[in-house]
Amino acid sequence: MKTKFVPRIYKKKNAPLYLHITGHSKRERLLLDIEVDHQYWSTEEQRINISIIKDEQLKKLYQDINLIIDNIDSKITNIKTVYRLSEIVLTPKKLKQELIDDLPRVNFCSFFQHAIDEEKKIIEPGTYRKLQSVLNKLKRYDDQVIFTDLTELWFQRYKVHLSKIGNKKTTINSNIKSIKKIIRKAIRMGIKIPCVLEDIKAGSTLGTKVSLDPFELKKLKAYYDSEFICDAHRLMLAYFLFSCVTGLRFADVMAIDKDAVTDDFIQFKAEKVDKMQSIALNKRAKEIINSCDDLFVKHFTNEYVNRELKVIMRNLGLKKKLTYHVSRHTFATSFLRAGGKVEKLQLLLGHSSIKQTMVYSHIVSAEANKEMFLLDNLW
């Protein structure tokens, strides 16, 4: 496989630069987004001859163009390396397509984006947003990482990086798990990586269930009812508090339209089970619905609501890290504190196993154990 940069010379001074690719008795041409003055072009070096340019401003421009050409050359080398290691025949047509598509078979971030975009129609919106968030974080770390870089050492360093930027252990494990999922897809397509994927351990993604205690819940409700709250925060809290008294997931709440709400029930299509469900509205849920006209009218992304909830907690002087999903945990612990049975809670939360629900029972039991120390005040 041979490649050559060739300016196509017309009558005008600046000539468009092409990449000529030959191999396997085939030839392809790729027009690059570069123009060069042909009088400065060195056919032997396939670069601009900077030494013969007198104008300093023009010299700086062509130095940058030479760097761009160097970068394209580097990408070509990476493509050849990955194809050779993967034992896949690289044709001029494939090389051209790789460069046009920004190296999806070579650059891991490009492949990641292609993979999740292809699955966008068949995966849940929340899953797509999560994978996109994982990718965005990876891009900020190294958007030029290629498959041959994915060694055990790379994974170790990336975990250290995620820890340094403040990610919790469960969040790091979840990111690694998502990255491994994309790599498996690449491996099925014949792409190889320089390590055994099974040796990369993601670890547990089950974190501590954070919930609000009665004091924190009352403080949020008091702020919701106050005259000082802005409309945007009031709507955010309306959604959050609604889930605190119903246990509904964010995706399910955002899929509800106003027409689905009746006096005593609300109907929605549950995202996880993909079927229509109906739940009874308790007194608190009705109060929130009746107090906020924009509820189930204006919809938001999970990321936006989480950012606003953090601002609200900071304004109220509450240090607990709040995300929308905390409302579901709060519903579960509040239900058990009020005397509800764990078997009923399992049905309300839609858990397939009682073990998932028992976590909340352990949280409430741990709180009860702390109350034992109140007896120390007897003497």
CATH number for the domain that contains residue 177: 1.10.150.130
Say whether both 171 and 260 belong to one domain: no
CATH assignment of the domain containing 361: 1.10.443.10
Looking at residue 375, its pLDDT comes to 59
| Encoded amino acid at 285, one letter | A
Same-domain status, 183 and 250? no
Which of 71, 100, 129 marks a domain boundary?
Answer: 100
CA nearest to 263, candidates 242, 277, 282? 282
Q: Is residue 19 part of a domain?
A: yes
Residues with Cβ < 8 Å from 284, sequence gap 6 or more?
241, 245
- Structural contact between residues 240 and 318, judged by C-beta atoms closer than 8 angstroms: no
Same domain flag for 234 and 120: no
Q: Do 220 and 237 meet the contact criterion of CB atoms below 8 Å apart?
A: yes
Q: Is residue 379 part of a domain?
A: no
Query: CA 196, CA 185: separation in Å to the nearest integer?
Result: 14
Collapse the DSSP code of 67 into the 3-class scheme (helix H, G, I; strand E, B; otherwise coil) and give the result: helix
Tell whether 274 is covered by a domain: yes
Residue that terminates a domain, selected from 100, 121, 152: 100
Give the chain's domain count.
Answer: 3
Angle (CA) 366 370 371, round 5°:
120
Longest Cα separation, the chain: 102
Contact 21, 96 (CB under 8 A): yes
Q: What six digits make up the tokens of 92? A: 């001029």
Beta-carbon-side half-sphere exposure of residue 19 (alpha carbons within 13 Å): 23
CA distance 351 to 273: 11
What is the rounded distance in angstroms from the CA atom of residue 206 to the CA atom of residue 329? 13
Residue of 112, 330, 378 lying closest to 219 (CA atoms): 330
Are residues 355 and 239 located together in one domain of the fold?
yes
Q: Measure CA 17 to chain center.
A: 37
Amino acid present at 272: K
Q: CA-CA distance, 201 to 169, in Å (whole number)?
A: 13
Question: pTM for this structure?
Answer: 0.60
Say whether both 189 and 218 belong to one domain: no
Q: Which residues of the chain have pLDDT under 70?
A: 11-12, 102-103, 206-208, 271-274, 366-379
Q: For residue 175, what are the domain limits?
A: 108-199
204 inside domain: no
Half-sphere exposure of 359 (CA within 13 A, CB side): 16
Residue 208 lies in a domain: no
Report the helix count and the strand count for the chain, using DSSP H and E: 14, 7
Q: State residue 374's pLDDT score.
A: 54
Contact 85, 152 (CB under 8 A): no
Confirm whether 209 is domain-assigned: no
Same domain, 264 and 330: yes
Task: Establish if 245 belongs to a structural domain.
Answer: yes
261 and 131 share one domain: no
Tell me, yes or no, whether 241 and 368 share the same domain. Answer: yes
Reference 210, options 264, 170, 176; nearest CA is 170
Q: What is the pLDDT of residue 345?
A: 87
Residues 39 and 148 grouped into a single domain? no
116 and 194 share one domain: yes
Could you tell me if 113 and 178 lie in one domain?
A: yes
Inter-CA distances, 206 with 3, 171, 279, 303, Å:
50, 9, 27, 20
Same domain, yes or no: 31 and 123: no
Whole-angstrom Cα distance, residue 276 to residue 269? 4
Nearest Cα neighbor of 248 from 274, 269, 220, 221 is 269
Q: Are 78 and 103 in contact (CB under 8 A)?
A: yes
CA distance 234 to 79: 52
Considering only CA atoms, which of 182, 206, 188 is closest in space to residue 115? 182
Identify the domain boundary among 78, 100, 122: 100
Residue 262, domain member (yes or no)? yes
Burial class of residue 285 in the structure, from the number of CB atoms within 10 Å of its CB (0-12 exposed, 13-18 middle, 19+ buried): buried
